[in-house]
Amino acid sequence: VSYQKLCQEFSEYLSQIYWKDVFWSGSYFVASCGGVTISTLRKYIEGQQKPE
């Protein structure tokens, strides 16, 4: 489901809960890593670009 679709269908309800024009935070990301090693995760994280 996209943010636009949610806004179209539930704008009145969402406006009571969320006071900003954003729904998701750009500050972090969480995901399952499965059987990946710690060293592989570190390499991946270190290779990510920092927000401007």
Quick: pLDDT tens for 34-52: 888 989 988 988 888 776 6
pLDDT in tens, 9-33: 888 888 887 777 666 666 776 777 8
Contact 24, 3 (CB under 8 A): yes
Report d(CA 42, CA 11) in Å as an integer.
40
Residue type, 50: K
In 3D, which of 49, 1, 2, 5 has the Cα closest to residue 29? 49
Domain ranges, ordered by start, for the chain: 22-52
Instruction: From 50, 2, 6, select the one nearest 26 (Cα to Cα).
Output: 50
User: Model pTM?
Assistant: 0.34
